[in-house]
Amino acid sequence: MKRTGILNAALAGRLAALGHTDQVLVCDSGMPIPPGVTTVDLAFVPGVPSFAEVLDGLLAELVVEGAVAAGEVAEANPSCAALLADRLPGLEHVPHEELKRMSKEVRLVVRTGEARPYANVILRCGVYF
């Protein structure tokens, strides 16, 4: 049994299979998930687990070289915008419709129980060396 890190077997396995430049969408419970994209759905009840908890868990395990979020997050969900800015220096912003289009190209979706708007980000994997 694992002692630390991500304990969810499906998520841990999917993360281990990611490579350089693969993309992961971390999303709120309302984000449309593209058909055919591998998804690990962690949502339990509204707000659980939170976007922040899941993002922090993923960032502890992944090397991230870039990230993209919807520009609308700044006005509609300032606390999420601040979280993203703090955790992801160099974060890019695109319109939400563009983020939804980009989500069709991700390798993995991790759905949270977040119930606040625009709590979505696409992480681009880097390498540790």
Q: E strands of the chain, at which residues?
A: 23-27, 39-41, 64-70, 92-94, 108-111, 121-125
Nearest to 41 by CA among 108, 119, 103, 111: 111
Give exposure, 90-104, as e/b (b: 16+ Cβ within 10 Å). Answer: ebebbebeebbeebe
Catalytic residue list contains 20: yes
Give the largest CA-CA distance in the chain.
43
Provide the β-strand partners of residue 67.
Answer: 123
Which residue in the list 10, 17, 20, 61 is annotated as catalytic?
A: 20
Give me the active site residues, please.
20
